[in-house]
Amino acid sequence: MKPILKIRGLTKSFEEIPVIHNLSLDVFEDEILCIMGPSGVGKSTLLNCIAGITPFESGEIYCDPVLYENVKVPFPFVFQEMDTLLPWKTVRQNVILVTDHMLNDEIDALLDRVDLLKHAHKYPRELSGGMKQRVGIARALACRSKVLLMDEPFGSLDLEMRVKLQDLLMSIQKKFKLSVVFVTHDLNEAERIGNRIIKLA
Ligand SMILES: Nc1ncnc2c1ncn2[C@@H]1O[C@H](COP(=O)(O)OP(=O)(O)OP(=O)(O)O)[C@@H](O)[C@H]1O
């Protein structure tokens, strides 16, 4: 398997307190890599470093150039609480925002798969927390990026919706051979969807 991201000697501190120390890790093409570990160990910080949201003091993150081909957003991110939707845009507009290449029918199919087609005209303020979460997932999938970063994306959903979205993620990951870095606290979830599980300590 080919690594699409290579992390070497990553070190990150906040106010001189080390959070990640000398971490090396490969993320391969076509895998769901689950990151687990106790609260505060640096799981979200790791995703933020990969996404380029958080600067780090030493180490390297090598990205395969394929990640930047034909995409507006190379590292789409799904957060635990999806408060990054644009409030003045509808569900459909929030999803369309990230894609130049999806046809209307494809957007409809994606919204349908996350049970949002009949809510496509609504604004974020009209949605429940779980619905906003599903918009975030649809938007990340619409990016058609080769990598998806997901930070406890299903944590706030009920079991039925969680399983449904795990299935959706697995089927889309297989279809497009995505690399998914997925933070979760839930071992059952990690074992169900992960090709590999890494525990940070
Ligand atoms: N912007 C920040 N400024 C200062 N400290 C921070 C910042 N972001 C994170 N930290 C600290 O870094 C440590 C790791 O935080 P992080 O959110 O990465 O942990 P986590 O493993 O994702 O935790 P959880 O499982 O609870 O979400 C924590 O001690 C946190 O307080």
Written as six digits, the tokens of 27 are: 């993320």
Written as six digits, the tokens of 53 are: 């949201």
What ipTM was reported for this prediction?
Answer: 0.96
Q: What is the pTM of this model?
A: 0.91
The band of 174, judged by pLDDT with boundaries at 50, 70 and 90, is: very high
Q: How far is the CA of 24 from the centre of ligand 1 (A)?
A: 19
Among protein residues, the one whose CA lies closest to atom 24 of ligand 1? 39
* pLDDT, tens digit, 9 for 90 and up, residues 1-34: 889 999 999 999 999 999 999 999 999 999 999 9
Among protein residues, the one whose CA lies closest to atom 3 of ligand 1? 14
Residue 196's beta-bridge partner residues?
Answer: 33
Question: Given 3-state DSSP classes, what are the helix, strand and coil percentages for the chain, each rounded to the nearest 5?
Answer: 35, 25, 35
42 lines ligand 1 (CB under 6 A): yes
- Contact assessment for residue 184 and residue 165, using Cβ atoms and an 8 Å cutoff: no
Q: What percent of the chain has pLDDT over 90?
A: 64
157 lines ligand 1 (CB under 6 A): no
pLDDT at 100 over 80: no
At 61 the pLDDT is 96
What whole-number distance in Å separates Cα of residue 163 and Cα of residue 87? 28
* pLDDT, tens digit, 9 for 90 and up, residues 55-66: 999 999 999 888
What whole-number distance in Å separates Cα of residue 110 and Cα of residue 94? 13
Of 14, 48, 77, 156, the residue with max ligand 1 atoms within 8 A of its CB, to mutate for a pocket test, comes to 14
